Amino acid sequence: MYVAIEGPIGVGKTTLARLLAEALGAEPLLEVVEENPFLPLFYQDRKRYAFKAQVFFLLSRYRQLARLKERPLFGGVVADYLFDKDALFASLTLEGAEWDLYLELYRELSPRLPAPDLTLYLRAPVPVLLERIRKRGRPFEAGIDPAYLEALSEAYERHFARYPHPLLVLEADQLDYSQEGPDRERVVALVKAHLSLGV
């Protein structure tokens, strides 16, 4: 069982991945954002650091997900990202020759990775994303541009409108699974139902 969680910045992917992994007896597969040395620089000067930040993400995501094919998944895995997110961000941050080169790399790597059995797409309006980003308090995200979040959210909408694998869309602003309460049980039950139905 391989479950992946996607959605825009701050929507609650990691929080849900931890919760679901525990509830399903699976292993959480979490991206370590702090490992990317180019990310804080990217937020200071997007044009200059976009390519470096993106190639670092591409390679580290590829390496982490390629391991899923190499070893048996006893209890399954719940990942807090999809490989697809890499090209989705790149389509907004790169252009010209850098975009062309990036796309060659992406197209070479992407077909080698397994597709999730179930993908959860978390959606929330931009003001909710901004509030969750503020609450989490990563320093380099402090001045994040709402227009960037809007463009990302639209790119996610377009991506999942024609996504060819089993998908469950959740309105993440209506579900607070970040604390104890009925929303936690609700979301776990929904995911279990989708996994056993194989939809």
Ligand X SMILES: Nc1nc(=O)c2ncn([C@H]3C[C@H](O)[C@@H](CO)O3)c2[nH]1
Ligand Y SMILES: Nc1ncnc2c1ncn2[C@@H]1O[C@H](COP(=O)(O)OP(=O)(O)OP(=O)(O)O)[C@@H](O)[C@H]1O
Residues that bind ligand X (CB under 6 A): 9, 33, 39, 42, 53-54, 57, 85-86, 89, 93, 141
Query: Over 67-87, what HEC string results?
Result: HHHHCCCCCCEEECCCCHHHH
Catalytic site includes residue 80? yes
Residue 93 touches which of ligand X, ligand Y, none (Cβ within 5-8 Å per kind): ligand X
Residue 89 partner contact from ligand X, ligand Y, none using kind-dependent CB cut-offs of 5 to 8 Å = ligand X
184's contact among ligand Y, ligand X, none, with CB below 5 to 8 A by partner kind, is: none
72 or 139: whose CB is closer to ligand X? 139
- Tell me the one-letter amino acid at 42: F
Catalytic residue among 80, 84, 86, 183: 80
Number of Cβ atoms within 10 Å of the Cβ of 65 = 23
Angle at 35 between CA 87 and CA 60, to 5 degrees: 40
Strands 118-123 and 27-29: unpaired
- Chain contacts with ligand Y (rule: CB under 6 A): 9-15, 80, 132, 135-136, 172, 175-178
Q: Shortest CA distance to 74 belongs to which of 121, 135, 27? A: 27
| CB of 69 or CB of 158, closer to ligand Y | 158
For the bound state, the minimum distance from the C-beta of residue 95 to ligand Y, rounded and expressed in Å, comes to 23
Give the position of tokens 């609450």: 135
Active-site annotation, residues: 80
